[in-house]
């Protein structure tokens, strides 16, 4: 059970948007690289094309937050800030979410999103954020899901092909296919090309909400997909995933998984609201819900490899 928060805690949380907005503006203006090894406000303003006075105010605030170090009148990035600046494309996805989350009050009133277009704004920002996150957990995916003996893999909604590449690199005989929408595929192809895996990792245009997936796969990955869909859509999705498996094949789902009472963990509960403001019917779901969908899809063995883990695996 999550511990109750004090009134000062709640007041601080209500002000939390201010620090968030400062960081997001720094990302949008690309301020961190402009600081370089050290620059004053006038020099930074000239690089980013902004007002010197206002730029100085923003830089001082970033220094007060520990994002920048101020030495005399010069500002330079901390190591963490420099790393953040290098991930700008993915971080702009968070800036895109600012406007979406600003509609939360209206979404609670109406029960659905007012957003149109791709999740979280521009496709390239959304996919860059997916890639950044997937890189941090690809090793866990290999360990938890397992790659030994997998010869054919389908990554449903695989975006930048991060997982498909990781599995192909770990298992020399494995061939992987990434299914996603047309605008995403050039980004996936570029990552595949950079990894030198054009001969073993391919892409296929398709809509995971309706298209058949084929057959004969040893492993079907469904990573960070189910939260975008409603219950009926997930039931149908996992049924099509199971039909695509060879005998003994597995469906591996990676998700934010709610506690049985749906009031935690905080990341999963918060992400449910992220889906409310950003999708027509998305949500986060309990382990029991995933088990029921996989069982209905014909999976004979269902497991959650680690207590409180992010993966649920169904074997046909």
What is the topology classification, in CATH, of domain 7-86? Arc Repressor Mutant, subunit A (1.10.10)
Contact 260, 288 (CB under 8 A): yes
Q: Extract the tokens encoding 157.
A: 């909604």
Residue intervals of the chain classified under CATH 3.40.50.150 are 123-315
What is the per-residue pLDDT for 223?
Answer: 97
Q: Is the dihedral of CA 274, 98, 104, 279 positive or negative?
A: negative
How many other CB atoms are there within 10 angstroms of residue 3's CB atom?
6
What is the per-residue pLDDT for 129?
Answer: 86
Task: Give CA–CA dist 294/220, Å, rounded.
Answer: 13
Task: Give CA–CA dist 92/63, Å, rounded.
Answer: 21
Cβ-Cβ contacts under 8 Å for 69 (sequence gap 6 or more): 63, 75, 76, 77, 78
pLDDT in single tens digits along all 316 residues of the chain: 567 899 999 999 999 999 999 999 999 999 999 998 899 999 999 999 999 999 999 999 999 999 999 999 999 999 999 999 888 888 888 888 998 999 999 999 999 998 765 554 578 888 988 898 899 999 999 999 999 999 999 999 999 999 999 999 999 999 999 999 999 999 999 999 999 999 999 999 999 999 999 999 999 999 999 999 999 999 999 999 999 999 999 999 999 999 999 999 999 999 999 999 999 999 999 999 999 999 999 999 999 998 778 999 999 9
Cα–chain center distance at 164: 16
Contact 14, 20 (CB under 8 A): no
Cis peptide bond prior to 177, omega within 30° of 0: no
Alpha-carbon dihedral angle through residues 114, 117, 118, 122, given to the nearest 10 degrees: -110
B/e letters for 215-235, b = 16+ CB within 10 Å, e = fewer, are eebbbbbbbbbbbbbeeebbb
Task: Give CA–CA dist 127/133, Å, rounded.
Answer: 10
Cα–chain center distance at 175: 24
SS3 231: helix
Contact 136, 166 (CB under 8 A): no
Residue intervals of the chain classified under CATH 1.10.10.10 are 7-86
Question: What is the CATH number that goes with domain 123-315?
Answer: 3.40.50.150
Cβ-Cβ contacts under 8 Å for 100 (sequence gap 6 or more): 113, 115, 120, 121, 277, 278
What is the per-residue pLDDT for 118?
Answer: 52
What is the per-residue pLDDT for 161?
Answer: 97
Give CB contacts under 8 A, 24+ apart, made by 45-52: none
Contact 244, 299 (CB under 8 A): no
What is the per-residue pLDDT for 309?
Answer: 85
User: How many residues does this entry show for the chain?
Assistant: 316
Cβ-Cβ contacts under 8 Å for 222 (sequence gap 6 or more): 156, 157, 237, 238, 241, 251, 252, 253, 254
What is the per-residue pLDDT for 90?
Answer: 84
Contact 101, 276 (CB under 8 A): no
Closest CA to 57 of 81, 44, 256: 44
Strand boundaries in 19-124, DSSP class E: 68-71, 74-77
Closest CA to 167 of 220, 124, 206: 220
């Amino acid at each position: 059970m999550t511990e109750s928060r004090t009134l000062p805690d709640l007041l601080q949380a209500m002000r939390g948007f201010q620090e968030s907005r400062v960081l997001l503006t720094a990302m949008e203006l690309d301020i961190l690289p402009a600081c370089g090894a050290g620059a004053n406000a006038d020099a930074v303003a000239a690089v980013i094309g902004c007002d010197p006075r206002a730029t100085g105010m923003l830089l001082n605030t970033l220094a007060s937050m520990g994002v920048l170090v101020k030495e005399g009148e010069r500002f330079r990035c901390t190591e963490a800030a420099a790393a953040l600046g290098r991930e700008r494309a993915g971080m702009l996805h968070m800036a895109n979410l600012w406007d979406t989350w600003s509609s939360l009050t209206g979404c609670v009133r109406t029960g659905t999103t007012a957003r149109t277009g791709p999740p979280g704004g521009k496709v390239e920002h959304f996919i860059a954020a997916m890639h950044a996150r997937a890189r941090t957990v690809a090793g866990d995916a290999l360990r938890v899901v397992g790659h030994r003996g997998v010869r054919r893999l389908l990554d449903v909604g695989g975006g930048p092909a991060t997982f498909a590449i990781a599995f192909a690199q770990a298992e020399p005989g494995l061939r992987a296919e990434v299914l996603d929408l047309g605008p995403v595929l050039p980004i996936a192809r570029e990552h595949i090309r950079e990894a030198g895996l054009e001969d073993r990792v391919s892409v296929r245009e398709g809509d995971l909400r309706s298209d058949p997936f084929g057959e004969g796969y040893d492993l079907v990955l469904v990573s960070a997909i189910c939260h975008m869909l409603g219950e009926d859509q997930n039931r149908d999705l996992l049924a099509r995933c199971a039909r695509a498996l060879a005998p003994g094949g597995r469906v591996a789902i990676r998700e934010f998984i709610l506690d049985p009472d749906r009031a935690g963990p905080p990341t999963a509960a918060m992400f449910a609201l992220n889906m409310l403001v950003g999708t027509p019917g998305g949500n986060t779901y309990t382990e029991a819900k995933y088990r029921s969908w996989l069982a209905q899809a014909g999976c004979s063995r269902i497991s959650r490899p680690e207590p409180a883990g992010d993966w649920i695996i169904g074997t046909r």
